[in-house]
Amino acid sequence: MRLTRIFACFAAISLLAVPLLVVPQPASRVQQLIADGELRGALNILNGWTADLGGEEQVAVDTIELNLQLGHVDEARQLLERLVIDQPHLEWPRLRLAEIIETTGTLEQRLNAAAARFHENPNAADLRQLVGHARLRGDLQEEARWLEHGFVEGLIQLRDRERLGLLAAAQRKRNEAIEHLLAAVKGRSDAGLPARLTLFRLMIDADRAVEAVDVAISSGLDLSDANLRLVYASQIVGLGQHGLGALLLVRRMNMSAP
């Protein structure tokens, strides 16, 4: 019992003493140098302490901030990368690292960072960057993949579903395309003509001509516009196997026309 108490006492002393040994005594000197604008001097002292960044968070904060203020971006980035790995519970190193990557990182680094953030915390801003750059590169599969993520997370708008539908159509995923395009065309009064026509053509191709005409008319096909009627009717070209649908369409359009 007595030994236990003595051991506990030593343990308590050790717990107090270790931080005292780790935390540098001349911390006030660093703060004074910073206050005096002697940033390089302060950084020199701090650089000697950063071997064990886990020991004292404030040392890490000061070192990184001073490095950034002095324009030593690579050094700051390396310290932050270590901290993110060693102390994953800390939020600020992630944010600071993200800022550095956003400012000076390569495009690949920026997109990787955005993807990592999105996986951790799905958000519209990162999704927009990921989708946008995939589209800019012409990487249809990557664009569709991110849009699907956004769809699952409830982060995309109807215009994105329109795009998703067109992407699915280009990938020959007819049913998927119809589903997305139907949602977009029914939900948006300003859905694009390519989306409407694609849906129309896909539905006729899927032997859903009657429904295709209904959707076209109910979603705003102006039957008084002869040119537009012609454009719709011309979509039948190449879909001869669904002649019945086509005939029905033409009859219905002509009957409905003023």
- Interface positions with another protein (CB under 8 A): 36-40, 68-73, 99-100, 103-107, 109-110, 128-129, 131-133, 135-140, 166-167, 169-172, 177, 193-194, 197-198, 201-202, 231, 234-235, 237-239
Nearer to another protein, 55 or 208 (CB): 208
Nearer to another protein, 86 or 139 (CB): 139
Tokens of 233: 């009717």
Query: Least CB distance from residue 116 to another protein, whole Å?
Result: 17
Q: Are the beta carbons of 181 and 194 closer than 8 angstroms?
A: no
Query: Least CB distance from residue 4 to another protein, whole Å?
Result: 54
How far apart CA 21 and CA 56 sit, in angstroms, is 11
How far apart CA 107 and CA 92 sit, in angstroms, is 22
Query: Least CB distance from residue 60 to another protein, whole Å?
Result: 19
Nearest-10 crossing angle of helices 193-205, 174-187: 140
Size of the chain in residues: 258
Nearer to another protein, 131 or 213 (CB): 131
Kindly tell me the burial class for residue 15, based on how many C-beta atoms sit within 10 Å of its own C-beta (0-12, 13-18, 19 or more). Answer: exposed
Nearer to another protein, 6 or 234 (CB): 234
Tokens of 14: 């050790």
Q: Are the beta carbons of 239 and 208 closer than 8 angstroms?
A: no
Rounding to the nearest 10 degrees, give the CA dihedral for residues 137, 139, 140, 145.
Answer: -110
Nearer to another protein, 52 or 139 (CB): 139
- For 51, which DSSP code? G
Query: Least CB distance from residue 256 to another protein, whole Å?
Result: 22
Query: Least CB distance from residue 202 to another protein, whole Å?
Result: 7
Compute how many other C-beta atoms are within 10 angstroms of the C-beta atom of residue 185. 25
Query: Least CB distance from residue 140 to another protein, whole Å?
Result: 5
Tokens of 37: 């604008």
Q: Are the beta carbons of 238 and 204 closer than 8 angstroms?
A: no
Query: Least CB distance from residue 54 to another protein, whole Å?
Result: 26
Nearer to another protein, 171 or 254 (CB): 171
Nearer to another protein, 15 or 37 (CB): 37
